[in-house]
Amino acid sequence: MKLKRNLAVTASICAAACHQAACTSTTKCNSSMVGQFPIQSHPSRVEVVLALLWKYAVATKKKKTGSFGPTALFQAINLRKRLSPLPETAVGNFIWPFMVLAYEEKDLELHELVIQMRKSLNEFNNTKANMFTGEGAPLAIMGAIKERGEFFRNNKEMTVYKCSSWCKFPLYDTDFGWGQPIWHVSVNKLVSNTIALADTRSRDGIEAHLTLDEEEMALFKQNEELLKYATLNPSIYAQFLCAFCNSDYNCCVNLFHVFLFL
């Protein structure tokens, strides 16, 4: 059985987590290169939040099974801005995933994860993104899919997580004639190990929608380290209240939880 949970990470906590990751990884990042392309030292909000969720999801898997196993993260990226010419008005998804691997438990330290995420993204941008252009694009894409399939056939013990980020998309500016949305959500509830990220309505925090199997979700939501960073299942009613006060809904979530526990 697959279960979905919604987590909210506020702006201040995002900043604190980014600072933690940046302070630990600055030296390594400044000395790291992908080919001849330097890696920026300051991690993004998405990189840090995703790294935290991946780390805690794998820790939950270990708690369930009793042992650590190798893991992979596929992160979907928007190809529109990486290819030209492509009109902004073109309709439809145009995405492709890049892969980050962790073979040992030490690879899941926060600073290591953000470094590897940035390395993998830079490598994709500089060596693989151009395969989607030109007459050879169909064959190149089919070759990449075949290569990925062969990798997982040879690594069947690997646990795979999939992520898509909608952060910075102007979803809350959408208006089809009945006003702007109070809340939006999109996640695949039929597949386990998926993570969907999106901005909060106030744009200064991140919502994460996560699917795990039932036993792992029960363990995941008890993770004390995770609860330092995120509010689990913030109420949709709180977001309606904050639509009127025009603030981050976490202020109302705290009140809602207080009333709940009284």
Residue pLDDT, tens place only, 31-51: 443 333 344 557 888 898 899
Report the amino acid identity of residue 118.
R
Supply the pLDDT for residue 254.
34
Q: Contact, 223 vs 60, CB < 8 A?
A: yes
Supply the pLDDT for residue 31.
41
Q: Contact, 70 vs 237, CB < 8 A?
A: no
Cα separations in angstroms, 245 against 66, 207, 238: 47, 19, 11
Supply the pLDDT for residue 209.
85
Which residues constitute the domain of residue 40?
2-261
pTM of the predicted model, to two decimals? 0.77
Supply the pLDDT for residue 40.
52
Task: Name the domain count of the chain.
Answer: 1
DSSP string of the chain, one letter each residue: -EEEEEEEE-HHHHHHHHHHHHHHHHHHHHT-EETTEEPPSSPPHHHHHHHHHHHHHHHHHHHHHSS---EEEEEEEE-GGGSSS--TT--S--EEEEEEEE-SGGGGSHHHHHHHHHHHHHHHHHHTGGGGSSTTHHHHHHHHHHHHHHHHHS-TT-EEEEEEE-TT--GGG--SSS---S------TTSSSEEEEEE-TTSSSEEEEEEEEHHHHHHHTT-HHHHHH-EES--HHHHHHHHHHTS-THHHHHHHHHHHH-
Cα separations in angstroms, 232 against 31, 43, 226, 229: 37, 24, 9, 10
Supply the pLDDT for residue 172.
86
Flag residues of the chain having pLDDT under 50.
Answer: 1-2, 11-14, 25-27, 29-39, 240-262
Closest CA to 212 of 53, 40, 50: 53
Residue pLDDT, tens place only, 165-194: 988 888 888 888 888 888 877 766 677 898
Q: What is the CATH number of the domain that holds 198?
A: 3.30.559.10
Residue with tokens 């290169």: 33
